[in-house]
Structure 1
Amino acid sequence: MIEASTTQIWIIIIAMGLGTYIIRFSFLGLIGNRPLPSWLLRMLRFTPVAVLPGVVAPMLMGSGAESMDPLRLSCALATLVVGLITRNVLYAIIAGLGLFFGLGALLG
């Protein structure tokens, strides 16, 4: 395993912070006050739908002892059903989180 000094760690943290800032500024700062083309606005509507599975999948699949936890799978299924019925991402997230914490508290 490679060990890094405190200075190297801080250099990495600062470089990643600057990189993130530059990426966000390029989108928000440079073109934030200009009207976007309609085709781009249509594509941006699908961003939450594209990002949410990428955020949820690692938590759902887990690793090691957490792999395929029945609580997580049932909450994911309930979230999917609520999302399909209501067509609302916020309602689906609230239902999934509520069920996860509610069942988690009941089951221990």
Structure 2
Amino acid sequence: MIDTTTFWTLTALLGVGTFLVRFSFLGFLGGRQLPDWFVLHLKYVGVGVLPAMVTPLVLWPAATGAKPIPPGSSRPSPPSSSPSGCRWRVRWWREWARFT
């Protein structure tokens, strides 16, 4: 277990670091007009955060308490991306869900 002094020192340092990162954008760029291409790219930040949060849950399910599928099991392979494979994708998803 981490001792109390180390915990609070680390918490304070992380708080100061977070403040400085946020201030670097808000304090220095807050009064300026941002380029249109930069504003356009900022719209995609939220879309990029969701996969960044979900990907570790998919790749390392043991971190969330789920049991990973052992190597060599008969887990079905993902379907192809052909337009006619919709029925196959539903079947694959149902088979895959049995292993989780």
TM-score scaled by length of structure 2: 0.56
Q: SS state of the match for residue 16, structure 2? A: helix
Q: Which residue does the alignment assign to 2:3?
A: 5
> Aligned equivalents of 1:30 and 1:59: distance in 2?
36
Q: Which residue does the alignment assign to 2:66?
A: 66
Deviations 1:13-34 (A, max 9, x none): 0000000000001111221221
TM-score scaled by length of structure 1: 0.52
Q: SS state of the match for residue 66, structure 1? A: coil
Paired letter, 1:48: G
Q: Which residue does the alignment assign to 1:44?
A: 42
Q: Runs of at least 4 residues of structure 1 off by over 3 A?
A: none
Structure 1 residue 5, shift from structure 2 partner: 2.4
- Structure 2: 5+ residue runs without aligned partners? 69-100
User: Residues 9, 42 of structure 1: CA spacing in aligned structure 2 closer, same or farther, 3 A cutoff?
Assistant: same
Q: SS state of the match for residue 32, structure 2? A: coil
Q: SS state of the match for residue 41, structure 2? A: helix
> Aligned equivalents of 2:30 and 2:67: distance in 1?
42
Q: How does 1:29-108 map to 2 (within 5 A)?
A: 29-61=27-59, 62-63=61-62, 65-67=65-67
* Number of aligned positions between the proteins: 67
> Aligned equivalents of 1:29 and 1:59: distance in 2?
35
**Relative contact order, higher structure (CA 8 A, sep 6+):** 2
Q: SS state of the match for residue 57, structure 2? A: helix
Deviations 1:19-71 (A, max 9, x none): 00000011112212211011111211211121110112233452165146xxx
Structure 1 residue 4, shift from structure 2 partner: 3.5
Q: Which residue does the alignment assign to 1:18?
A: 16
